Structure 1
Amino acid sequence: MTMITIKINREGKIEKYKVPENLTVLEALEYINREYGANIKFRASCRNSQCGSCALTINGSPRLACETLVKDNMLIEPLRGFRVVKDLIVDREPYYQKLKSIRNYIVRKKLPNGLEEIEESEVEKTKELRACIDCLSCLSTCPARSSSNFPGATVMRQLLRFSLDKRDEEDRERIAFFENLYFCTTCSSCVEVCPMNIKLERAIEKLRELAFKKGYFLEEHRKVRENILKSNRSIPKIKESFLEKAKEFYKAENEKLRVAFFTGCLIDYRNIAVGFDTIEVLLAHNISVYLPKAQVCCGSPMLRTGQRDVAEDLMEKNLETLESLDIDYIVTVCAGCGSTLKNDYKLKNVKDISELLIEFEREYKKLKLRVSYHDPCHLRRGQNVYKEPRELIKRIPGIEFLDSKPQCCGAGGGVRSGVKELAKLLGKRRAKQFRDVDKVITICPFCELHLKEQGLDVINLVSLLKKVI
């Protein structure tokens, strides 16, 4: 029988144990208590991924102990973000008290006469929302919850569940608003760790949509709406835009592909240099570039803050423009735009710049620089793109690359515009992880701007590549 070593964090002290391979973490804990008399305290019940009680932090991420297999040198810790009661048991009582405070049950002012039938279509509306097993993994990874009074995505999920139930007569949107509904950055870290694959960020967006319709919104988000209604951009224009300065078509000398460049608001109105860098980099890789002059805001700021009515108008305008083009791909250098085009527009021919360029073999000039990479949440989790930008950076001779664990900087989900103090706090925490590098690379104008305000030297990946083509 092959034995491997696992480590247990018992209230700050790391203990090592030999256990047989091919056990689940839950089985390994029971083996340790039985064979070593360790008396480690932990929670478990159903053993079948249904009760959620056995969730632990395993190698840095929340996982169910009953379904996670042990690996050599694995580190097992209590679920983060909660007070430790004993060993691997955390205090779940604050969560239960929060559920109690939001009246986590159907509220009726007048009961029906006799049996009340529920149509199947009504049941389907909340089916995914009811799949939660209360493992609390989402709460342990939420950056907003760790830095504010935001109760977490699963609490908002419960509020949406009752909001969509026609039997419920409570004002769930009002409760959500005063429970800091707009503190969520929509980073999707909760979705990433949810064992039931519940789309929690979509639940929050839907709840925000319902709240906005009832008049529960942040004034700063209303101002973004006004900008879009005036100019089809989420920010005001202060000078000649990138689309006004640039040509409509740039022909590559030895054309291999033709793409449409979807700029996004910040590149068009603020980061104009990044726009021209993108064109130069694409041309250097023998890619011809269309710049659709009729393109408008992708609608992401409206979708993330619940203002779907405006977003749908923007989507219609963009689809009319983009679907008429004779191109191979639509290319983005903004994580939010790319995620919106892929996931909300459902376009199949959209690529982040790193996804496209990684397919081309090209030698880059040497650049002696110590850099790291910041994962935009809407790129890593929204598009599952994280290997490609790292590989492109590593292709540059002379680059010293120091990787970093993904962590939300606080710029997304309307938090930067609407909850400035929380955004600043999250930005500062993220910035501390990059103090030992010359530059931080990213592929999101919002992350770039936000991290620059924390004192970091940040550039878009295309601006880095522009230096070495």
Structure 2
Amino acid sequence: MLTKEWQTEIHKCAKCGKCRSICPVFIETGKESMVARGRISLADALRNGEIFHTELLREYLLSCKKCLRCSHICPSGVDYDFIIQTMLDDLANNIGIWLIPRIVFSIFLTRRGIFNLLLKIASVFQRLVPLKRHGTMRHLPFMFMGGRWIPPLAKKPVLKKYRGMKTIKHPKMKVGFYVGCLINYVYTDIADAVIDVLNHFEIEVVVPQGQLCCGIPARSLGDVKTARRLAEVNVAVFEKAGVDFIINACATCGRTLKKDYPRILGEQCLKFSNKVYDITEFIEQYCNYTTKLQNTRVAYHDPCHLYWGQNISKPPRDILRRSAVFQEMENPERCCGGGGVFNLLHYDLSKKIGEYKATAIEKSGAEIVATGCPGCRLQIEDLLAARNSPVKCTHTIQVLRDAILPPP
């Protein structure tokens, strides 16, 4: 439903065009329909009945990466994300959601057991698919999408691996770990590092088994019903766990839990959202620690949903400076080109956007590039694999773990 709040937000836009200077999609395409100002003009036309809900309109909306940089730089303070999301919700309500995403969202995302079975089957196919270039591995939903680099699915998901948690004798506090899909099914090494580090700080970590996807894939396509259902389950599961804080290691999941859930569920969700911390934010605010500086050159990539979405940039850098030989890359906050649904629908464009990032990483002279989002890690590994680059990508918490804990 196109509300008065939505219309008011549209009128804030002065059409100054400042968004054109920083939009990663516009920089590559030069198309006015693919920048905040242009899409807001489409919103105004929709409001006035000059255009209607069509697949072409959906295409323009989904060409947005939702990196949030335009809202951050906008001199008029336009909440661009709210404008676009409202349009996507309204469009889905009027002409529906594509069949396959609708099935995935309504059946698989809301039922962990069925989703696990689907990915288990996918992992079998993954082993059978021939590799087309060095490092290339493919699995659903990328099975037939060419030679992109995709890491193998984990043999055991995080939620299964940490079903029975180690208890701390005299814990300083108890935190819940919101895992997220990529970490749960692919980058389980990130979860290992999160739990190892927090346990080292004498913090008890629980991984609630009933947690589901944060809902951002469904939300991105306007499936409000599924997004709300996932949010309700996650809030209930963590409230039942009785934790002091909720920790996450995914920039996109973190922003969704903090910022989107109150919009989806209302103010009753604030008690939950106010407990949510990115792992680096939490460590710098609540943990005292010493490190053994590692002789490894490390650069840092700012995930959009951490830097622009949560205003978190100093904590990960502080951690890296205390853990390794930190080397700042050129424009570290520039988008890597990932972006979830955007990456699936506009893979070639995402690669073009990411080329600058891959070059900046290599120019930095770093051996490792750390980041705070598994989605960015996925994209950066793909970009570096295409260049046969020796640079490795990891999560900031893994660099810290190596600096405070002896190797096993």
Alpha-carbon RMSD across the aligned residues, in angstroms, is 2.4
Aligned partner of 1:316 among 232, 246, 251: 232
String of CA shifts for 1:319-361, please: whole Å, max 9, x gaps: 1111222211000000011000100123111000001111322
String of CA shifts for 1:49-94, please: whole Å, max 9, x gaps: xxxxxxxxxxxxxxxxxxxxxxxxxxxxxxxxxxxxxxxxxxxxxx
**C-alpha distance in 2 between matches for 1:219 and 1:384:** 36
Indicate if the aligned counterparts of 1:260 and 1:291 stay in contact, CA closer than 8 A: yes
Please tell me whether residue 433 in structure 1 is matched to residue 313 in structure 2. no
Match of 2:372 in 1: 443
String of CA shifts for 1:89-117, please: whole Å, max 9, x gaps: xxxxxxxxxxxxxxxxxxxxxxxxxxxxx
**C-alpha distance in 1 between matches for 2:193 and 2:318:** 19
AA in 1 matched with 2:188 = I
Match of 2:156 in 1: 240
Using the TM superposition, give the Cα deviation of residue 256 of structure 1 relative to its aligned residue in structure 2, in angstroms: 1.6
Determine helix, strand or coil for the equivalent of 1:351.
strand
AA in 2 matched with 1:423 = S
Deviates most, 217-226 or 361-370: 217-226
Indicate if the aligned counterparts of 2:53 and 2:95 stay in contact, CA closer than 8 A: no
Match of 1:386 in 2: 313
AA in 2 matched with 1:289 = V
**C-alpha distance in 1 between matches for 2:238 and 2:81:** 27
Q: TM-score, normalised by structure 2?
A: 0.78
AA in 1 matched with 2:18 = S
AA in 1 matched with 2:370 = I
Which structure shows the bigger proportion of residues in strand conformation? 1
**C-alpha distance in 2 between matches for 1:154 and 1:240:** 45
Indicate if the aligned counterparts of 1:221 and 1:414 stay in contact, CA closer than 8 A: no
Indicate if the aligned counterparts of 1:335 and 1:379 stay in contact, CA closer than 8 A: yes
**C-alpha distance in 2 between matches for 1:222 and 1:427:** 29
Closer, same or farther in 2 for the Cα pair 1:125/1:273, shift >3 Å? Answer: closer
Number of equivalences: 345
Determine helix, strand or coil for the equivalent of 2:198.
helix
Closer, same or farther in 2 for the Cα pair 1:213/1:419, shift >3 Å? Answer: farther
String of CA shifts for 1:258-315, please: whole Å, max 9, x gaps: 1000000011111112111211011112211011000000001221232222111101
**C-alpha distance in 2 between matches for 1:332 and 1:450:** 19
Match of 2:295 in 1: 368
User: Any stretches of 5+ residues in structure 1 without a counterpart?
Assistant: 1-120
Determine helix, strand or coil for the equivalent of 2:119.
coil
Aligned partner of 1:160 among 20, 37, 43: 43
Question: What does 1:248-327 align with in structure 2 at a 5 Å threshold?
Answer: 248-327=164-243
Higher RCO structure, 1 or 2 (CA under 8 Å, sep 6+) = 2
Aligned partner of 1:350 among 276, 283, 295: 276
AA in 2 matched with 1:461 = T
Indicate if the aligned counterparts of 1:411 and 1:446 stay in contact, CA closer than 8 A: yes
User: Any stretches of 5+ residues in structure 2 without a counterpart?
Assistant: 124-154, 263-272, 385-390
Determine helix, strand or coil for the equivalent of 2:261.
coil
Using the TM superposition, give the Cα deviation of residue 402 of structure 1 relative to its aligned residue in structure 2, in angstroms: 2.3
String of CA shifts for 1:113-142, please: whole Å, max 9, x gaps: xxxxxxxx9644401111111110112210
Indicate if the aligned counterparts of 1:248 and 1:293 stay in contact, CA closer than 8 A: no
Aligned partner of 1:142 among 23, 37, 45: 23
Match of 1:419 in 2: 346
**C-alpha distance in 2 between matches for 1:125 and 1:192:** 18
Match of 2:71 in 1: 191
Deviates most, 276-285 or 331-340: 276-285
String of CA shifts for 1:169-208, please: whole Å, max 9, x gaps: 6315445235x32111100111111011111122222222
Indicate if the aligned counterparts of 2:110 and 2:212 stay in contact, CA closer than 8 A: no
Match of 1:26 in 2: none
The alignment-based identity, stated in percent, is: 28
**C-alpha distance in 2 between matches for 1:428 and 1:252:** 45
Match of 1:335 in 2: 251
Please tell me whether residue 129 in structure 1 is matched to residue 10 in structure 2. yes
Determine helix, strand or coil for the equivalent of 1:372.
strand
Closer, same or farther in 2 for the Cα pair 1:337/1:161, shift >3 Å? Answer: same
**C-alpha distance in 2 between matches for 1:404 and 1:429:** 9
**C-alpha distance in 1 between matches for 2:7 and 2:252:** 27
Deviates most, 317-326 or 368-377: 317-326
**C-alpha distance in 1 between matches for 2:329 and 2:51:** 47
Match of 1:457 in 2: 392
Match of 2:93 in 1: 213
Indicate if the aligned counterparts of 2:316 and 2:396 stay in contact, CA closer than 8 A: yes
Closer, same or farther in 2 for the Cα pair 1:122/1:223, shift >3 Å? Answer: closer
AA in 1 matched with 2:377 = E
AA in 1 matched with 2:49 = D
Using the TM superposition, give the Cα deviation of residue 145 of structure 1 relative to its aligned residue in structure 2, in angstroms: 1.0
Indicate if the aligned counterparts of 2:6 and 2:82 stay in contact, CA closer than 8 A: no
Using the TM superposition, give the Cα deviation of residue 392 of structure 1 relative to its aligned residue in structure 2, in angstroms: 0.9
Closer, same or farther in 2 for the Cα pair 1:395/1:160, shift >3 Å? Answer: same
Match of 2:58 in 1: 177
AA in 2 matched with 1:357 = I
Indicate if the aligned counterparts of 1:370 and 1:437 stay in contact, CA closer than 8 A: yes
Indicate if the aligned counterparts of 1:262 and 1:330 stay in contact, CA closer than 8 A: yes
Indicate if the aligned counterparts of 2:109 and 2:213 stay in contact, CA closer than 8 A: yes
Of structures 1 and 2, the larger Rg is shown by 1
Closer, same or farther in 2 for the Cα pair 1:130/1:198, shift >3 Å? Answer: same
Indicate if the aligned counterparts of 1:373 and 1:442 stay in contact, CA closer than 8 A: yes
**C-alpha distance in 1 between matches for 2:257 and 2:291:** 30
Closer, same or farther in 2 for the Cα pair 1:233/1:391, shift >3 Å? Answer: farther
Q: TM-score, normalised by structure 1?
A: 0.69
Closer, same or farther in 2 for the Cα pair 1:432/1:200, shift >3 Å? Answer: same
Match of 1:34 in 2: none
Closer, same or farther in 2 for the Cα pair 1:134/1:233, shift >3 Å? Answer: farther
Closer, same or farther in 2 for the Cα pair 1:224/1:384, shift >3 Å? Answer: farther
Please tell me whether residue 410 in structure 1 is matched to residue 326 in structure 2. no
Determine helix, strand or coil for the equivalent of 1:127.
helix
